[in-house]
Chains A and B, each alone.
Chain A
Amino acid sequence: MRYVNQDIIKQLNLDQFSEEERKKIIDELEDLLEKEALDFILSKLSDEDSKKFLELLEGTVDKAALDFVKQKVPNFEEELKKRFTEVIKDVFGERTPGLSDLGK
């Protein structure tokens, strides 16, 4: 569980699951979100900028890659948040907006 904290576990209703199930879900979710984040960033950058970003990511300067993305992608964190919201809705069954929790 690299990223997910207890609040999120509650928000996602993951506390209904056993510890083992929860761990599985979170691990898999984190792996997915990393890829979604990368995909999102690369989809916003030109090829040239993408290469630069990836080189910075593999480099040693801690904030260089993030600063670069922020500079190139307007509202980066806001947009990434939207993408994640979409992913989480998809994964946690919000196929029918506003309805999926009815009666569950």
Chain B
Amino acid sequence: MAEVTSGIMRETRPPDRVSNPHLKDSEIDPALADQQTYSSLLRSLDLARDDQFLFHKDKDGNIFVSRGRREKGKPVLAKDVLQERFNEAYELSLGKPELIDQNLVKIRGEVALERKAIEDAKRELRKKAREKYAPHSRRDKDQVEEWYQTALTGGQFQAFEDQVRKKQLIINVLAGKSQALKGKQERDKAVAEYKKYLKTDQNPSASQLSNFIRDQRVRREALGPQAADLERQRKAGEILGRIAERRRTVSGELELRLRGLGFELGRVLDAIRRRPGQALAAAIVTAVTLGTLAYAATRPILPSEVAKLIHQLRTQGIVMRSATPEPLPTLIPAKPTEVPPKPTEPAKIAEAKPTAIPPTVTRVPISTAVPTRTAVPASPTVAPTEQLSPTATRPPATATREPQPTAVPTKTETTGVALAEADKKTKEAVMAATEAYPGIEGVRKLKIPKPEALVAQSENLFFDDNHAVNIVEFDFNWTNGTKDAATRAKYYDAYAQGVYEGLKAVYDVNSHMTVILEPGHQSNAPIPPSSWKGPRIADTGSGVTLANGTSVSERKYNMETAKALAKKLHELAPNWTVAVTVDDSGFDVVPLGFYDGKMYYIDNPDVFVPLRFAENQVPGKKVRLALHYNGAANDDEAVNRRGGDIIPPATGNYRDESMRLAKSLITQLQAAVRKIEPGYEVRLYDGDEPDNQYLITESHTDQRADVVALKFDSLRNKLNRRIVLANQPGGYFYDKKHNQPVQSASSRP
């Protein structure tokens, strides 16, 4: 390892973001970025300490840790295991996401096993302690505890747990890398494919589109068993990860409860496990069975025919999922506030078009000459495709435009859809699928815009990320999560007011901008052992205990927070598009969300084509804010320490802008929240933990690079209005050259 480490460092010593996290991108050789990332990881692992620990694997491949140089079989040095991991990670980082995925599964499995090994070993230690000092008296109990704690803090467990935690960092980085590479590969493929069609025919026939879809399917199917195998491993890894996450939360709470009662968790569990026939264990069996069956009963049973249709949809096109969100009883009124689309368009638009756009799309003329297919998000409360908004796109310059009034604006114009027959089948499939899922209010095919609609976008369609400010992470004072709903609502209002004022101080409130709220990220950092005296790792993913004693995961509060903020921000700044990404499930999916009082879920990677298209239609600044609670459950220290922490990205194209925004947010958030909590403090973290923060931020940035989230209202009332009306009198199109929407001169009334 030393050779590898030093080798890498010799190569990467020039402008090094690890040693200087404030370097701008332009000052770093991009070719060295990966090496620097992994150099940083190598250093963070502090490998020198690993010599004293040994893993060994049993015949089933389980990995254990033990002390001493030799054990039965062939012990594997932790150092060697990590060396192997890094070699693989480094090699794989050069562009093979599927291999990174394999590696991820392996590391995740190891981490799960190692955590179990730690718990088993602790139990064993406790047992030994009891045997050594039979707990006949209070004094003996103290001796047991002292012996046990000494063994725990003597080095091996602490360091091993630390090592497992650091492995989690590797997982985060690799997963982010994998996601980014996959996104890039998909982008490249799609760009190539679309360009091919754009070049060959700007108005492709139905058969060409069919061929395109078929090619895509064949390519996916060609991945075959390998893809299926990876997918299965990924699922198993996800499940294990969620079990581990939940167990960390409940273990922490349980240990504290039991400690307060003078009992110890391992001993109590031993008591249950010693006698599998014991009545409590039997009760657990019953509850597991009943609970599982109850769970199974809540799951929609997938009829095979519907499954086939869904599969067909997912491989041929895009299935959009929609669902009613988790209720926010006291935060959002039952009926979402409808903010009527205002005629206040971006300043540039106003200049271009003195007459405001009508607030609603009524009697919209639509060209029959250029039938189009445009991304139209589904509303869960509106029934199927017939009611989707009419769509159209900017026509080729030479296209003839014959306005044709639309009788009812909300009625879908399906005329002109090239694949009419395919659409019919799709519609039937969608309806069948919807019927099979009573809990689903709408499943629709999101239509891919016709290639000609992409002509205007051409080169920058897929690559223009340059108008998005990178994440500014804001960690709320998580103790608010323990308060009642009314109090939480006050905080949300204050936060939203602060965010609004903070953004307003940096950007023009009247201009259009997209604020993407990311509820948070799932942390896999373990809760430190109770003996841990160092700083706590406070992060999302752990639990919150409400005032009424109910335990919930912070993720739920993060979503609640994001949704409440989205709503309030939307009220404060109706010109802005406020979007919420719908999940914080880590790096394995790229979720997308629209906010209009309801949430929409899309999980098909194909969707990026129309959505990237869509995003480019909405001009103006994009700001991504990662907003979430941070904190470890029952951690008084963390509660007292934390107010709101703002962490701008340590790197990235928009670091300077993010810093300006962060500083503005500090002032404004603090002022807003102090109105309800006088002592509230917001702090700026800027590279105080360069390695860790850099890595986490980096992986987030990588992951989110492809995340596009737009508010449904925006799509319907702003975006669609521009795209849909592009080829109509008074319509707009997107001027790539000047990076703004402009009104078509030829179509002005």
0/1 interface trace, chain B 240-260, chain A, CB 8 Å (1 if under): 101110110011011001101
CB-contact partner of B288 in A3, A27, A64, A89, under 8 A: A3
Note all chain A residues with C-beta closer than 8 A to B242: 90-93
Note all chain B residues with C-beta closer than 8 A to A103: 307, 310-311, 313-314, 319
CB-contact partner of A11 in B269, B293, B437, under 8 A: B293
Q: Determine if B239 and A98 form an interchain contact, defined as CB atoms under 8 angstroms apart.
A: no
Q: Determine if B299 and A8 form an interchain contact, defined as CB atoms under 8 angstroms apart.
A: no
- For window 68-104 of A, CB contacts with B under 8 Å fall at 69, 76-77, 80-85, 87-104
Q: Determine if A87 and B246 form an interchain contact, defined as CB atoms under 8 angstroms apart.
A: yes
Note all chain B residues with C-beta closer than 8 A to A2: 273, 276, 281
Rounded to whole angstroms, the CA-CA distance of A52 and B686 in the bound complex is 51
- For window 252-290 of B, CB contacts with A under 8 Å fall at 253-254, 257-258, 260-263, 265, 267-269, 271-273, 275-290
CB distance from A85 to the nearest CB of B (A): 5
Note all chain B residues with C-beta closer than 8 A to A30: 288
Q: Determine if B440 and A99 form an interchain contact, defined as CB atoms under 8 angstroms apart.
A: yes
Note all chain B residues with C-beta closer than 8 A to A104: 302
CB-contact partner of A24 in B240, B263, B285, B439, under 8 A: B240
Rounded to whole angstroms, the CA-CA distance of A96 and B238 in the bound complex is 16
Note all chain A residues with C-beta closer than 8 A to B287: 37, 77, 80-81, 83-84
Note all chain B residues with C-beta closer than 8 A to A87: 246, 291
Q: Determine if B236 and A85 form an interchain contact, defined as CB atoms under 8 angstroms apart.
A: no
A interface vs B, CB < 8 Å?
A: 2-5, 7-8, 11-12, 16-18, 20-21, 24-25, 27-39, 42-43, 47, 50-51, 54, 57-58, 62-67, 69, 76-77, 80-85, 87-104
Q: Determine if A11 and B296 form an interchain contact, defined as CB atoms under 8 angstroms apart.
A: yes
CB distance from B521 to the nearest CB of A (A): 15
Q: Determine if B437 and A98 form an interchain contact, defined as CB atoms under 8 angstroms apart.
A: yes
Q: Determine if A38 and B439 form an interchain contact, defined as CB atoms under 8 angstroms apart.
A: no
- For window 714-739 of B, CB contacts with A under 8 Å fall at none
Q: Determine if A42 and B236 form an interchain contact, defined as CB atoms under 8 angstroms apart.
A: no
Q: Determine if A50 and B261 form an interchain contact, defined as CB atoms under 8 angstroms apart.
A: yes
Q: Determine if B268 and A99 form an interchain contact, defined as CB atoms under 8 angstroms apart.
A: no
Main secondary structure of the interface of A (DSSP, over half): helix
Q: Tell me if B292 counts as interface (CB < 8 A to partner A).
A: yes
Rounded to whole angstroms, the CA-CA distance of A71 and B60 in the bound complex is 44
Q: Determine if A84 and B291 form an interchain contact, defined as CB atoms under 8 angstroms apart.
A: yes
Note all chain A residues with C-beta closer than 8 A to B269: 34-35, 38
Q: Determine if B311 and A95 form an interchain contact, defined as CB atoms under 8 angstroms apart.
A: no
CB distance from B259 to the nearest CB of A (A): 12
Note all chain A residues with C-beta closer than 8 A to B239: 25, 91-93
Q: Determine if B253 and A96 form an interchain contact, defined as CB atoms under 8 angstroms apart.
A: no
Q: Which of B119, B286, B585 has the most CB of A within 10 A?
A: B286
Which A-B residue pairs are the 4 nearest by beta carbons? A98-B439, A84-B291, A66-B279, A11-B296
Q: Which of B113, B232, B278, B443 has the most CB of A within 10 A?
A: B278
- For window 10-30 of B, CB contacts with A under 8 Å fall at none
Q: Determine if A102 and B433 form an interchain contact, defined as CB atoms under 8 angstroms apart.
A: yes
Q: Determine if A34 and B284 form an interchain contact, defined as CB atoms under 8 angstroms apart.
A: yes
Rounded to whole angstroms, the CA-CA distance of A102 and B602 in the bound complex is 11
Q: Determine if B291 and A88 form an interchain contact, defined as CB atoms under 8 angstroms apart.
A: yes
- State the interface size on chain B (CB cutoff 8 A): 82
Q: Determine if B323 and A98 form an interchain contact, defined as CB atoms under 8 angstroms apart.
A: yes
Note all chain A residues with C-beta closer than 8 A to B244: 28
Write the chain B residue with the least CB distance to A66: B279
Q: Tell me if B583 counts as interface (CB < 8 A to partner A).
A: yes
Q: Tell me if B109 counts as interface (CB < 8 A to partner A).
A: yes
Note all chain B residues with C-beta closer than 8 A to A64: 279
Rounded to whole angstroms, the CA-CA distance of A65 and B275 in the bound complex is 13
Note all chain A residues with C-beta closer than 8 A to B333: none
CB-contact partner of B263 in A34, A54, A90, A91, under 8 A: A54
Note all chain B residues with C-beta closer than 8 A to A80: 283-284, 287, 291
Rounded to whole angstroms, the CA-CA distance of A4 and B286 in the bound complex is 10
Q: Determine if B291 and A85 form an interchain contact, defined as CB atoms under 8 angstroms apart.
A: yes
CB-contact partner of A57 in B272, B298, B300, under 8 A: B272
Q: Determine if A54 and B261 form an interchain contact, defined as CB atoms under 8 angstroms apart.
A: yes
Q: Determine if B253 and A11 form an interchain contact, defined as CB atoms under 8 angstroms apart.
A: no
Q: Tell me if B354 counts as interface (CB < 8 A to partner A).
A: no
Contact A28:B247 (CB < 8 A) given known A34-B272, A103-B310: yes
CB-contact partner of B300 in A7, A16, A63, A98, under 8 A: A98
Q: Determine if B254 and A95 form an interchain contact, defined as CB atoms under 8 angstroms apart.
A: no
Note all chain A residues with C-beta closer than 8 A to B551: 39, 43
Rounded to whole angstroms, the CA-CA distance of A11 and B243 in the bound complex is 17
Rounded to whole angstroms, the CA-CA distance of A50 and B239 in the bound complex is 32
- For window 84-118 of B, CB contacts with A under 8 Å fall at 109, 112-113, 116
Rounded to whole angstroms, the CA-CA distance of A100 and B302 in the bound complex is 11
Rounded to whole angstroms, the CA-CA distance of A101 and B310 in the bound complex is 11
Q: Which of A64, A66, A76, A85 has the most CB of B within 10 A?
A: A85
Q: Determine if A93 and B437 form an interchain contact, defined as CB atoms under 8 angstroms apart.
A: no
Q: Which of A16, A39, A51 has the most CB of B within 10 A?
A: A39
Query: What are 19 A-to-B residue pairs whose CB atoms are below 8 Å?
Result: A2-B273, A2-B276, A11-B295, A11-B296, A31-B247, A35-B265, A35-B269, A39-B254, A43-B551, A47-B261, A66-B282, A77-B286, A77-B290, A82-B294, A88-B295, A89-B295, A93-B238, A93-B239, A99-B601
Q: Determine if B268 and A38 form an interchain contact, defined as CB atoms under 8 angstroms apart.
A: yes
CB distance from A32 to the nearest CB of B (A): 5
Q: Tell me if B321 counts as interface (CB < 8 A to partner A).
A: yes
Q: Tell me if B482 counts as interface (CB < 8 A to partner A).
A: no
Q: Determine if B232 and A17 form an interchain contact, defined as CB atoms under 8 angstroms apart.
A: yes
Q: Determine if B246 and A90 form an interchain contact, defined as CB atoms under 8 angstroms apart.
A: yes
Rounded to whole angstroms, the CA-CA distance of A26 and B687 in the bound complex is 41
Q: Tell me if B692 counts as interface (CB < 8 A to partner A).
A: no
Q: Determine if A91 and B246 form an interchain contact, defined as CB atoms under 8 angstroms apart.
A: yes
CB-contact partner of A92 in B283, B295, B437, under 8 A: B295
CB-contact partner of B268 in A58, A81, A92, A93, under 8 A: A58
Note all chain A residues with C-beta closer than 8 A to B276: 2
Rounded to whole angstroms, the CA-CA distance of A65 and B295 in the bound complex is 27
Q: Tell me if B549 counts as interface (CB < 8 A to partner A).
A: yes
Q: Tell me if B553 counts as interface (CB < 8 A to partner A).
A: yes
CB distance from A11 to the nearest CB of B (A): 4
CB distance from B101 to the nearest CB of A (A): 15
Q: Determine if B247 and A24 form an interchain contact, defined as CB atoms under 8 angstroms apart.
A: no
Q: Determine if B250 and A35 form an interchain contact, defined as CB atoms under 8 angstroms apart.
A: yes
Q: Determine if B243 and A98 form an interchain contact, defined as CB atoms under 8 angstroms apart.
A: no
Q: Determine if B268 and A54 form an interchain contact, defined as CB atoms under 8 angstroms apart.
A: yes
Q: Tell me if B233 counts as interface (CB < 8 A to partner A).
A: yes
